[in-house]
């Protein structure tokens, strides 16, 4: 909803990009309930955050994938408002813009995000795995796709870069795209380097496929190389039966996971937000690094519900600090209902190489039982129902077009 609060209102404000992931709504609810005025920037009226009861103002902006420099300029215009004290990054394009043009934004607001050289080490998976090796963190064997010399093994093909922009690939500074997602190569398949490079927009990487259903996230907020708050969860279900973004997850507290996450972020001398994704090897129990998301993560509402209010901690650091004493409940779980719907749909509609398809009746039963035993939901909240309704509309629309 749009608010009739004027742009020159002197109340402290935060800028939140509205995307389809629940992280945007989690930021609005966390900060809006504390009296922080929320300014939502959006390129589409269908984003659930636009419909939140905690959205005070909506500012239309260019989509970063269509006009990255126009998006940058729109954020800078908002950062120059006296009342705006923070901009929260919720997608790769957000943190890329904030970091790429760090000096311009730092002149207006606290730059609680990594410097360009550090961000590149994370958004380039080749340099990320080099940092992991230096930190003593295990990772799947990884090569550029043109360097794979054993097609008889099980490989997955992933983008080298998490975002395609001029700092990483040869393109116009106004261009910014998200590369395609993972491709699974059946054993014995010789990768078509030219075709995969054309599809991805750059030479991608081939990575050893790790047979494990155990996906974990280590979440952190760092202030100039020092951890301020951390959280852990285990993913129980993703959007697809092969994995993907989190549909159902539970909080955990595993010392080895904390050790691995902190070691990597310390090696990077991290500053700002990070979600470090790991797989746990079923045979050795070791955590293998998958990637780092250097911004708020899609399962953020569950993190807040479990007791670690990262949006508020982020706001505090952007405004001179404050008492931050995060503690969370272990063994609680929560859902993104749209994700559960997509998970079940994937069992009926998708055929993923290297991953066994689960039984659909058993999957329905598992989802139903978990909904009853763990009634925590990313969007569904009584005092702010409209984002949930809009998200369901978006989910139905996406399934109709598949």
Q: Answer for the pair 159, 207: CB distance below 8 angstroms, yes or no.
A: no
Which residues are CB-contacts of 171 (< 8 A; sequence separation ≥ 6)? Answer: 164, 165
Tokens of 242: 């092969």
* DSSP assignment letter at 71: H
- Encode pLDDT of 218-241 as tens digits: 999 999 999 999 999 999 999 998
Higher pLDDT, 240 or 9: 240
- Using only C-alpha atoms, the chain has a radius of gyration, in whole angstroms, of 21
Whole-prediction pTM value? Answer: 0.92
Instruction: Please state, for a pLDDT cut of 70, what percent of the chain lies above it.
Output: 97
Q: What is the mean pLDDT of residues 9-35?
A: 93
* DSSP assignment letter at 146: G
- Encode pLDDT of 172-197 as tens digits: 999 999 888 888 887 788 889 999 99
Residue 7 has pLDDT above 80, yes or no: no
Residue 328 has pLDDT above 90, yes or no: yes
Question: What pLDDT is attached to residue 4?
Answer: 35
Distance set, CA 257 to CA 216, 222, 225 (Å) = 8, 17, 19
Q: Answer for the pair 227, 221: CB distance below 8 angstroms, yes or no.
A: yes
Q: How far apart are CA 91 and CA 94, in angstroms?
A: 5
Q: What is the mean pLDDT of residues 357-380?
A: 95
Residue 4: exposure state from Cβ atoms within 10 A (0-12, 13-18, ≥19): exposed
Question: What pLDDT is attached to residue 385?
Answer: 96
Give the CA angle between residues 176, 177, 181 to the nearest 5°.
155
Same fold, 13-116 and 215-400: no
Residue 9 has pLDDT above 60, yes or no: no
DSSP string covering 208-273: EPP--S-EEEEEEEEETTEEEEEEEEEEEEEEETTEEEEEEEEE---HHHHHHHHHHHHHTT--EE
Helical segments of 5-67, H only: 23-32
Q: How far apart are CA 13 and CA 57, in angstroms?
A: 10
Phi, psi of 265 (to 5 degrees): -65, -30
Residue 396 has pLDDT above 90, yes or no: no
Question: What pLDDT is attached to residue 10?
Answer: 53
Domain boundaries, the chain: 13-116, 141-208, 215-400
Paired with 272 in beta bridges are 222
Question: What pLDDT is attached to residue 354?
Answer: 72
Q: How far apart are CA 302 and CA 307, in angstroms?
A: 9
Distance set, CA 361 to CA 71, 214, 248, 335, 365 (Å) = 45, 22, 18, 19, 6
At the top level of CATH, the class of 13-116 is alpha beta
At the top level of CATH, the class of 215-400 is alpha beta
């Amino acid at each position: 909803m749009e608010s009739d609060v004027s742009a020159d209102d002197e109340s402290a404000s935060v800028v939140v990009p509205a995307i389809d992931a629940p992280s945007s709504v989690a930021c609005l609810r966390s900060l809006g309930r504390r009296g922080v005025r929320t300014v939502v920037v959006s390129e589409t009226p269908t984003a659930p955050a636009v419909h939140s009861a905690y959205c005070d103002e909506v500012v239309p902006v260019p989509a970063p994938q269509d006009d990255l420099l126009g998006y940058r300029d729109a954020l800078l215009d908002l950062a120059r408002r006296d009342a705006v004290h923070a901009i929260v990054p919720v997608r790769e394009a957000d943190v890329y813009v904030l970091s790429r043009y760090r000096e311009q934004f730092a002149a207006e607001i606290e730059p609680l995000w990594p410097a360009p050289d550090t961000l590149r080490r994370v958004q380039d998976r080749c340099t990320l795995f080099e940092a992991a090796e230096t930190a003593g963190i295990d990772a799947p064997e990884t090569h550029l796709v043109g360097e794979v010399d054993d097609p008889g093994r099980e490989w997955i093909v992933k983008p080298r870069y998490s975002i395609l922009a001029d700092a990483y690939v040869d393109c116009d500074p106004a261009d910014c795209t998200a590369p395609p997602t993972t491709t699974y190569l059946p054993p014995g398949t010789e990768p078509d380097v030219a075709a995969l490079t054309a599809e991805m927009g750059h030479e991608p990487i081939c990575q050893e496929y790790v047979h494990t259903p155990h996906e974990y996230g280590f979440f952190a907020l760092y202030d100039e190389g020092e951890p301020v708050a951390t959280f852990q969860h285990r993913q129980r279900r993703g959007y697809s039966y092969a994995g993907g973004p989190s549909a159902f997850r539970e909080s955990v507290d595993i010392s080895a996971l904390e050790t691995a996450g902190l070691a990597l972020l310390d090696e990077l001398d991290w500053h700002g937000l990070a979600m470090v994704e790991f797989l746990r090897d079923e045979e050795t129990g070791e955590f293998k690094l998958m990637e780092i998301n250097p911004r708020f993560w899609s399962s953020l509402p569950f993190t807040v519900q479990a007791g670690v209010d990262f949006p508020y901690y982020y706001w505090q650091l952007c405004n001179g600090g404050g008492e931050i004493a995060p503690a969370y409940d272990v063994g609680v779980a929560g859902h993104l209902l749209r994700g559960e719907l997509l998970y079940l749909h994937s069992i009926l509609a998708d055929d993923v190489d290297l991953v066994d398809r689960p039984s659909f009746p058993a999957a329905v039963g598992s989802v139903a039982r978990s909904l009853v035993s763990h009634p925590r939901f990313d969007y569904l909240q009584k005092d702010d129902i409209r984002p949930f309704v809009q998200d369901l509309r978006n989910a139905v629309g996406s399934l109709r077009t598949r």
